[in-house]
Amino acid sequence: MKIKPSLRLYFLIVMIITGITTISIMSVVSFNYFINGLDFSIRKEMHTQAYQLPVSEGKPVKLNNFVITSTFDDLPESIKNNIDEKEMQVGELVKNVDGNLLFARPKAGYFAMKLDRNDEVRFVATSFFSGQERPHKDKLFPPFKYLVMIAFTAMVLFALVPYFILRKVTNPIESLMAWAKKLNKQQLTKPAPDFHYSELNSLAEIVKSSLQSVQASLEREQQFLGYASHELRTPIAITRTNTELLRKMIERGISTEKQLQVLDRIERASLNMTNLTETLLWLNRQTDKSIPLSAVSIGQLTQQLLGELHYLLNDKQVEIQVQTDDSELQLPAVLCRIIINNLIRNALQHTNEGKIVITQSGHQLIIHNQDLSENMVENDLGFGLGLELTNRLVKHYEWQYKNEATDNGHYVEINFI
């Protein structure tokens, strides 16, 4: 069984590892600075003491625990036995420490420096701890062990502090989780509770806003399906009625011309249902699925759809002016057909007397209708489903789209780019 990772445990482990690593590095750095500080102090003191008194060969001078000579051979035997003269460079401190500075006090330490001022060479040396009895406390606790104890204490605190912080933080988080699980449509209308921390309150608002958006989307989908069922009801009824009529006309031997008129009505209703069904199927696909592109002539498609929908102008006094070209673009053909069909249908349905101007050039299509009749119906782009479909399709492909109401009609412009 796979164990799911815990964010709380992960955070705690990362904080402990980070703390231990940081404290360990800082402890080592502090120790190095401590040793370098001692070296600097001894070097500085040697520089100060070296030329305080005159020194001659064979006569070393002792001053404040330092031995000052003019030659290396005049230094004490303990220094000469532990310091190599060949290693000594002017102004450089040479040392030999007997013992491990990390975990115990050194048994002995020997320090020497060679100085040269105005061609007067001096050797300065000193030793520490050599032959000295150390107190019992120093045997138990070497100097660096204090630093180790402090580091260990800091590590423990670094482990405990995140633990208590996590306990303080996770309780409001668990409350947030419980609140989010119980959210429903009624609770989305109420203010979110206070979760003590501003970040959690912001997260709660984000969760609430997201669910409100989902709820609004569901309501729009329900409304959309309502439009669809309403719009499909008419062509279905036309198909059924004319099918029964055609059957009776065939049985009674009515003329072929009359039968073809009925058949035309059935075909138009079927075409309307096909367009609506294709659109609904596409809109309910996953967002990662796209419609393949193909060469589309917007002008030819506009002329074709205008011919298919020309029956909407029966018994109407409407003048139509059409201007198109033969340019082709790579576009989703099905969606272009649906959009142009909706726009032309809208113009034809809502113009009872007047003029419709359709202009197409390249990727641009303009439809401008003017209704001069007294019973002009005010409607944004016409029927509900046409508005919904057109807006959603255009928005999905981010095509440039303009729909403006004029004094006696509508001006619609769409750029398929």
> What's the pLDDT score for residue 221?
76
> What's the pLDDT score for residue 219?
78
Query: Over its length of 417 residues, how does the chain's per-residue pLDDT go in tens digits?
Result: 444 556 566 666 777 777 778 777 877 787 777 778 888 888 888 888 888 888 888 788 888 888 999 888 888 888 888 888 888 888 889 988 877 666 566 678 889 999 988 888 889 998 876 455 444 434 434 555 666 677 777 777 776 777 777 777 777 888 888 888 888 877 787 888 888 778 888 888 888 888 888 887 787 777 667 667 766 776 787 788 889 999 999 988 888 888 898 898 888 788 778 877 776 676 666 455 567 889 999 999 999 889 878 878 888 899 999 999 999 999 988 788 888 988 998 888 888 899 999 999 999 999 999 988 765 554 444 445 566 678 878 888 889 999 888 888 889 999 998
308 vs 132, 183, 311, CA distance in Å? 115, 50, 7
Q: Which CATH number does 198-282 carry?
A: 1.10.287
Exposure class string for 242-272: b at 16+ Cβ within 10 A, else e: beebbeebeeeeeeeeeeeebeebbebbeeb
Look up the pTM and report it: 0.44
Distance of CA 356 to the CA centre of its chain: 49
Fold of 293-415: Heat Shock Protein 90 (3.30.565)
Domain boundaries, the chain: 7-154, 198-282, 293-415
Distance linking the first and last C-alpha atoms of the chain = 53
Pairing of strands 93-98, 108-117: antiparallel
Round to whole Å and give the CA distance between 112 and 60. Answer: 14
Instruction: Report the alpha-carbon angle 39-45-51, nearest 5.
Output: 135
> What's the pLDDT score for residue 140?
38
Token pair belonging to 177: 């989780």
